[in-house]
Structure 1
Amino acid sequence: MVSSGHPGFRTLFSTFGALHGILFRYPVPGVSIGSFRNWYRKHADFEDFGVDIVSHVSVFPHVTTHLHVADPATMKEITSNRLRFLKPVEQYGALSFFGHNIVASEGEEWKRYRKVTAPAFSEPNNKLVWDETVRIMNGLFDDVWAGKDTIVSDHVVEFTLPIALFVIGAAGFGRRISWQDDLVVPPGHKMTFKDALHVASTDVIIKLICSDWVLKNAPFKRLNKCKAAYDELEQYMLEMIASRRTEEKKEERYDLFSSMLDASADDLDGGAKMTDGELLG
């Protein structure tokens, strides 16, 4: 539809918010443009309106205006000019369940986190990703598939998901996981690191939608397991922070977690150091 002002949509509901994504995946005229619209319409809306920037005005939960952009030069200006186009950090609050982080920050706080995280993404870390992937795949061939002429799987995710988790565990956290290891729950834990990372990764939407009280007390095992996984993952990371800060002989590591931990030990912005909570975030 086109109304006065810039060409675009005028609806009751905004497309942002987890509840909207559940209720209005597809368009309802005058009510919602649908949360999946960009996926199936692609450039068609811009062609229909005859412009490279389409507006969307909604009135609930409050009056907002969003601009959908299809012009490369405009997109470059928006994404590169952090002073003119600030991130709406209030919309990222749900991503701060482990603490403040670079995704949910802006301005001076973002610069501080950027200074710590940038060095972690390095060539040694890229090499670590490749080396660990080779190790993990060799383990799959030598341990899991050893002696088998034929491998049958109902779904490829049965193997690709563990591979991804193993790489993240090694290159992201400096914690190696093999196909045979990490089967025994360590003392003081209720879940292995691999399982905690798996559940936390797959059920992040549940974590964003539900409060901790709901996750803990709801009569649904999946919600309870989601709460337990995030609690376990936080405990694992706090233990890794404590272990690496107190180890007598510093081991040369190139995983992201260790790189950020090393960077946080240095004075930043006149002596401000990152707390454990900020590292977790």
Structure 2
Amino acid sequence: MLDYRSIARDVFNIEANAVRSLTESLGADFDDAVSRILELQARVIVCGMGKSGIIGKKIAATLASTGTPSFFMHPGEAYHGDLGMVTPEDVFVAISNSGETDEVLKLIPFLKDNGNYLVSMTGNRDSTLARASDSHLNIGVEEEACPLQLAPTASTTATLAMGDALAVTLMKAKGFQPEEFARFHPGGSLGRRLLARVDDEMEREELPFVESDASVTEVIQAMSRGRLGLAIVKTGSSYGVVTDGDVRRAVESYGVGIFEIRAVDFMSKDPITISVGTRVEDALQLMESRKITSVLVADKGVVVGVFKK
């Protein structure tokens, strides 16, 4: 019976060794490729066929999301018109493990005539593609994880790692910041934290306001109506807050006499308040530091919303 986990571990080891070997094969061509991209402030066009193309799409996506304008171009489509999208200032990254992929090699005459800087990723430094390149990044591996040595496995992992190395190096060279990453990922959690304002996400409709002389029953009714786990107490020109926890503590303190007290007697005075326009990130950091889950949002001293985690 096959030992499935043993097979999986062998795959992990082979692919880990493939990535580790990239450290030894990395040369000055990597520096040249990075420098050229930075010098031209260039778009990076990634091209590859088959499995190399699939990896190329991921590399292009990583570059684009980390501050280097990039897109993937299928070599077949390129040869039939998409080369019109390539400007002389673009850096062209061609991926082919053998370095002899016909669909990719057909593009070389155009790229040379167009004046493009050509970066190749191949497993054969003596291949046609590698020799035609301005910079060659060696992605050669000693063996594939595939037992038949046919399916690209370790070689595609190495290619992906090389692409990540290129993207991360460019990130650091450009001083790429989290705020910039968030701009390209507005739909993600980081985008929400860094780009969104509390105004965009706060609760503003039917806020659970009560007067300072409101009874406990009125406070609880307001809390149930608002469904925010709190009631906002108006005390002249300022505000207080009653939370679920405040109600429980009041019950423990006053017992049956709780129905004789008013909101002002057990509210939290001077609650933490933030201004409209505050970044979600800043609001969340404040709430985390104070170990609270809700905060009042004010506009010129008037509470206009409640922001919750």
**Which entry has the higher C-alpha Rg, 1 or 2?**
2
- TM-score > 0.5 by shorter chain: no
Q: Which has the higher contact order (CA 8 A, sep 6+)?
A: 1
The TM-score normalised by the length of structure 1 is 0.24
